[in-house]
Chains A and B, each alone.
Chain A
Amino acid sequence: MKIEIVLSRFFSILVFGASALLAQEKPPAGSAERGYEAYMKYQCYTCHGTVGHGADRGTGPKLAPNPSPYAAFALQVRTPRLDMPAYRKPFLSDQELADIYAYLSSIKPSPPAKDIPLLDF
């Protein structure tokens, strides 16, 4: 198990290091509507919020808008860096993953803090 962790870490560093390259690769085709369903069904929203905005108390980081490149995204979901639960292929298909990615990519940015009077603390 230790070795697995070390290997996956090593691999993740490689992939993140190469993210500039990967960014140019096109993500697999997916449907944002189906992606929303899958995002809710597999409860990504519990830690990342329903619109991928991230959650209070460090529960999960923000995922959208502009999710990380697909390969990095997929690697994280399949073999998370730290405490996030792993979603392995038998329980979350490649298509579902692509759909979730399409959903996250479709999310529009929130208004910036400076334009929100209630955040003028």
Chain B
Amino acid sequence: MSDKGIDRRSFLKGAAASAAAIGTHLAANSALAQTEKPSAESKDSGRPSERVIGRPGSDFMVDVIKATGIEYIASNPGSSFRSLQESIVNYGGNKKPEFLTCMHEESSVAMAHGYAKAAGKPMGMIAHGTVGLQHAAMAVYNAWCDRVPVVMFAGNFLDADKRRPGVEWYHSVQDPAALLRDFTKWDDQPVSLQHFAESVMRAYKIATTVPMGPVLITADGDLAEEAVHDEKKLRIPKLTRSIPPQGDSGAVAEAAKLLVAAEQPVIIADRACRSQEGMKRLVGLAEALNAPVVDIGGRMNFPTTHYLCRSEDRRQLIGQADVVLLLEVADPWGQFNTISDPHHEYRRFAKPDVKTIHVCLGDTLTKSNYQDMQRFMSVDLPIAGDAQATLPALAEAVKSAGGIARRVSLTDRTTKLRDDYRQMKERARTAASQGWNASPCSTARMSATLYNTIKSEKWCVAVSGVQWNRNLWPATEYFNFLGGSGGSGVGYSAPAAVGAALANRDKGIVTVSIEGDGDLMYAPGVLWTAAHHKIPLLMVVHNNRAYHQEVMHLQKMAALHNRRMDTAAIGTTIEKPNIDFAKLAQSLGVHGEGPITDPAAIAPALTRALAAVKRGEPAVVDVVSQGR
């Protein structure tokens, strides 16, 4: 459209009409004219700019999104959803949902991923149905593997007759969701606004029904840009959520019998808990059985301060176990067996006759192509049910199985269990002390110093590339640890931490992350997003100047192929030049510290960074670190 074509008067009129609508939540029955002339008195000059659309379809789409309660929409702006973006901002008042400016669609989805785990509800995201979803794909896969809801919208122009030549054709697709269908729970491409309303509600409900996962709704560009027809007929269905299913009561009783009779029972929890209440339930069960718990950490499942929390002793515990209860464990086989690398020797570390029980909904959410289902294991008692929902019944059944004598004998284990716990903690501290004064800084010192900086705050580790936090830090709250990426797709950590920090911002929880240098370089623009939206996050860069895992893979390959052992750095290290993450952060408007090579300098840098975070800003502390 040329400048000449813009009729200033009608433009202003149109703007006034939209301004009047700002903040009118659920304006579905608004009396705004649907396709109107700018004003009755203006003479029709026949110019296209005379035509304004006072109530575009995208306004109704915003009404629908508002009705879901989605508070944020993460997005890199794109023309295929320009109408929806404008409606979010001008019609919706850019509040609930608020448009978050992202610099990569992968960041948008990963932010939504981290946010959902911290907020306990999904965030929205919008992208081009073509190039945007292509960028987003890996992050969607992570969310899928991690069973985390993300409500995605895609812009598209389905009607070829209306597309402008050139880019709009490149940015149109028959079936936008095809690219993601292997790792999304559900998708739809609505062709009417009523269809849109129903599909968004369905999508939200499906995304948040356990096992949760990402969903995609196409918001057709023409549907969004054209006027709402027949407003009165439009209805936004009420959002209702499914109650998670409890495991069958007979099976639960059977499981309780096995567990109570066991001499060496072990509980393994992965994506088991969704809330503090879930943790409380798991503590209740573990105490009723006096059974050690291995928290694999897909979610925060068990307080690390509890004497039954024995995550680091997993191998030894499984080696001795006669009954193992698995709770929503993504890789059951891998808890009992392993395959060595690179020689592919099979090793089993569990007893051959160990009895297994798995409370899990994994089989109810499967697709065939991507292999996130992990290796098959014959479970003795597989219970299709939600772990958190099943725990109370299981704990009750345990309490009533076995007589008084058995209950007394279960408590006899306590002294030894407490002692084993103390020894495990002592081993962790001793291991952490090794290389304490080394430069590059040891990851244990980095972790311990971080804890010391934030220990008087309510804290959340949104992501971490090191294990020490779990082994060392006293963590009792569900919000303390958010778990990993799901699919191990690199590029997750930084945006997920920003998303989690956004969710934690209003709860007064200080969010920290231990961020890989390689991960951060995928899309460092998310730091700008954090600065722009004033999202306080304390990010420590675990800067080992390498895709460290890959260095080790190359060493293994060179040895396997009987070749020279001094070339593994080629293609795997991030040196020459070294990246200065403090400067990178500063250039994006973020408080930056480092590079820190002297371990004694970590603490003062973290203190300054925390002060920035307490002012509501993000901060990056670049610690030049050991490999792991």
CB distance from A74 to the nearest CB of B (A): 15
CB atoms of B466 and A83 under 8 A apart: no
A86 contacts partner chain B, Cβ-Cβ < 8 Å = yes
- B551–A62 contact, CB under 8 A? no
Which A residues lie within 8 Å of B438 (CB)? 49-51, 53
List residues of A (89-121) whose CB comes within 8 Å of B's CBs: 91-92, 110-113, 116, 118-119, 121
A69 at the interface (CB under 8 A from B): no
Of residues 532 through 570 on chain B, the ones whose CB sits less than 8 Å from some CB of chain A are 546, 548, 551-552, 555-556, 558-560, 562-566, 568-569
Which residue of A has the minimal Cβ distance to B560? A85
How far, in whole Å, are A47 and B559 apart by their CA atoms in the complex? 15
Residues of B within 8 A of A92 (CB): 565
B181 interfacial by beta-carbon distance below 8 Å: no
Shortest Cβ distance from residue B327 to the other chain A in the assembled complex, whole angstroms: 22
Q: Are A91 and B628 within 8 A (Cβ)? A: no
Cβ–Cβ contact B433 & A47, under 8 A: no
Chain A residues near B551 (CB-CB < 8 A): 43, 46
Among listed B102-110, B328-336, B445-453, interface-contacting one? B445-453
**In the complex, are the beta carbons of A55 and B626 less than 8 A apart?**
yes
**B559 close to A116 (CB less than 8 A):** no
The interface bits of chain B over 443-485 (1 if a CB of A lies within 8 angstroms of the residue's CB, else 0) are: 1110011011000000000000011100011100000000000
Contacts of B548 in A (CB 8 A): 46
Chain A residue, CB-CB nearest to B542: A56
Interface centre among B340, B556, B566 (most CB of A within 10 A): B566
| Chain A residues within an 8 Å CB radius of B13 | none
Our pick among A47, A54, A83, A87 for the contact of B434 (Cβ within 8 Å) is A54
Which A residues are in CB contact (< 8 Å) with B343? 5, 83
Provide the bound-state CA to CA distance between A62 and B473, in Å.
Answer: 22
Contact B432 A91 (CB under 8 A): no
How far apart sit A47 and B556, CA to CA, in the bound complex (Å)? Answer: 11
Does A59 reach chain B (CB closer than 8 Å)?
yes
Question: Is A53's CB under 8 angstroms from B472's CB?
Answer: no
In the complex, A116 Cα to B568 Cα: how many Å? 35
With the chains together, A43 CA to B449 CA distance in Å?
27
CB closest chain-B residue, reference A120: B429
Q: Is the interface of A mostly helix, strand, loop or mixed?
A: loop
CA distance A5 to B344 in the complex (A): 13
How far does the Cβ of A87 sit from chain B's closest Cβ, in whole Å? 5
- Within the complex, which residue of B435, B555, B558 is in contact with A51, where a contact is CB–CB below 8 Å? B435
Q: Are B444 and A56 in contact (CB under 8 A)?
A: yes
B431 near A110 (CB under 8 angstroms)? no
B169: interface (CB < 8 Å): no
B587 within 8 A of A: no
Interface 1/0 per residue, A50-72 and B, CB below 8 Å: 11111111010010000000000
Q: Are B340 and A82 in contact (CB under 8 A)?
A: yes
Asked if B434 and A56 sit within 8 Å, CB to CB, the answer is: no
Is B163 located at the chain interface by the 8 A CB criterion? no
* Closest CB in chain B relative to A110 CB, distance in Å: 4
The yes or no answer to B425 lying at the interface (CB within 8 A) is yes
Question: How many contacting A-B pairs (Cβ < 8 A)?
Answer: 122
> Contact: A85 with B433, CB < 8 Å?
no
CB distance from B49 to the nearest CB of A (A): 63
Residues of B within 8 A of A85 (CB): 555-556, 558-560, 565
Minimum Cβ distance to chain A for residue B113 (Å): 23
Q: Which residue of A lies closest to B474 (CB)?
A: A121
Give Cα distance in the complex from A85 to B568, angstroms: 12
Q: Per-position contact with B for A76-90: 1 when CB-CB < 8 Å, else 0? A: 000000110111100
Q: A85-B555, A110-B437, A111-B433 are in contact. Are A56 and B443 (CB under 8 A)?
A: yes
Contact between A47 and B565 (Cβ–Cβ < 8 Å)?
no
Q: Contacts of B473 on A, CB cut-off 8 Å?
A: 121
Within residues 21 to 70 of chain B, which ones have a CB less than 8 A from any CB in chain A?
none
CA separation between A65 and B462, bound complex, in Å?
A: 35
Give the residues in chain A near B341, CB-CB below 8 Å: 83
Which residue, of A46, A53, A91, A116, has the highest number of chain B Cβ atoms within 10 A?
A46
Contacts of B443 in A (CB 8 A): 55-56
With a cutoff of 8 Å between Cβ atoms, the chain B residues found around residue A111 in the complex are 433, 436-437
CB-nearest residue of chain A to B565: A91
Is B364 at the interface (CB under 8 A from chain A)? Answer: no
The size of the chain A interface, using a CB distance under 8 A, is 34
Given A43-B566, A46-B555, A121-B425, answer yes or no on A53-B627 (Cβ-Cβ < 8 Å): no
A77 and B488 CA atoms in complex are apart in Å by 31
In the bound complex, residues from chain B placing their C-beta under 8 Å from that of A50 are 435, 438, 440, 626
Asked whether B433 lies within 8 Å of A55 as measured between CB atoms, the reply is no
Report whether A42 and B565 are in contact in the complex, using a CB–CB cutoff of 8 Å. Answer: yes
Q: Which residue of A lies closest to B429 (CB)?
A: A113
Q: Which residue of A lies closest to B471 (CB)?
A: A56
Among B332-359, those with CB < 8 Å from A are 340-343, 345
Cβ contacts under 8 Å, A5 to chain B = 343, 345
Q: Let me know if A116 and B436 touch, CB within 8 A.
A: yes
Q: Which of A54, A91, A110, A119 contacts B563 (CB 8 A)?
A: A91
Is the CB–CB distance between A113 and B430 below 8 Å? yes
Q: Is B442 an interface residue (CB 8 A)?
A: yes
Residues of chain B with a CB closer than 8 A to A53's CB? 434-435, 438, 442, 626
Assess the B429–A59 pair: CB atoms within 8 A.
Answer: no
Once bound together, how far apart are the Cα atoms of A57 and B559, in whole Å? 22
- Nearest CB to that of A115 among chain B residues? B433
CB distance from B121 to the nearest CB of A (A): 32
- Give residues 603-628 of B contacting A (CB, 8 Å): 626-628
A26 close to chain B: CB less than 8 A:
no
Do A112 and B433 form a contact, CB below 8 Å, given A85-B558, A91-B565, A121-B474? yes
Q: In the complex, A110→B435 CA distance in Å?
A: 6
CB distance from A120 to the nearest CB of B (A): 9
Closest 4 CB pairs of A and B: A53-B435, A85-B559, A53-B434, A55-B628
> A residues touching B (Cβ–Cβ < 8 Å)?
5, 41-43, 45-47, 49-57, 59, 62, 82-83, 85-88, 91-92, 110-113, 116, 118-119, 121
Binding site for A on B (CB under 8 A): 340-343, 345, 425-426, 429-438, 440, 442-445, 448-449, 451-452, 466-468, 472-474, 546, 548, 551-552, 555-556, 558-560, 562-566, 568-569, 626-628
Given A50-B440, A83-B343, A113-B433, list of 17 further CB < 8 A pairs? A41-B566, A43-B565, A43-B569, A47-B627, A49-B434, A49-B438, A49-B626, A52-B435, A54-B434, A83-B342, A83-B556, A110-B437, A112-B430, A116-B448, A118-B451, A119-B432, A119-B472
Interface pairs (26), CB distance under 8 Å: A41-B566, A45-B627, A47-B555, A47-B628, A49-B442, A50-B626, A51-B435, A52-B435, A53-B442, A56-B444, A56-B628, A82-B340, A83-B340, A83-B341, A83-B556, A86-B559, A91-B565, A110-B433, A113-B433, A118-B449, A119-B433, A119-B448, A119-B472, A121-B425, A121-B451, A121-B472
